[in-house]
């Protein structure tokens, strides 16, 4: 997979981009487990991308829901046994 970051929202600790092989948009949040820091990638629609780029409350709510594992059905990769915690 080739994730191409388009926007980083450092204050809210997430990024938005485009995954080239699947032609999908994503939102990524930083995570850390006992071995490595990594990102979890969530599939989002083009409409969601457009809303989140503006940095509105919708993005904050969605990111917090992802951190609480409420959108695991949208993950590009299923979590492993040593799933990290949000940074």
Q: Which residues pair with 8 in a beta bridge?
A: 15
- Of all helices (H) and strands (E), which one includes residue 4? strand 3-9
**Would you say the pTM of this structure is higher than 0.85?**
yes
User: How far is Cα 53 from Cα 80, in angstroms, rounded to an integer?
Assistant: 29
Q: Which residues pair with 44 in a beta bridge?
A: 25
- How does pLDDT run along the chain (87 residues), one tens digit per residue? 999 999 999 988 999 999 999 999 999 999 999 999 999 999 999 999 999 998 777 999 999 999 999 999 999 999 888 898 999
């Amino acid at each position: 997979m080739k994730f191409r970051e388009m926007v980083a929202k450092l204050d809210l600790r997430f990024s938005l981009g485009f995954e080239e092989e699947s032609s999908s948009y994503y939102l990524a949040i930083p995570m850390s487990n006992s071995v490595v820091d990594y990102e979890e990638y969530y599939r989002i629609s083009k409409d969601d991308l457009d809303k989140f780029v503006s940095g509105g409350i919708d993005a904050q709510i969605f990111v917090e829901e992802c951190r609480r594992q409420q959108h695991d059905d949208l993950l590009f990769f299923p979590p492993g046994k040593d799933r990290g915690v949000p940074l």
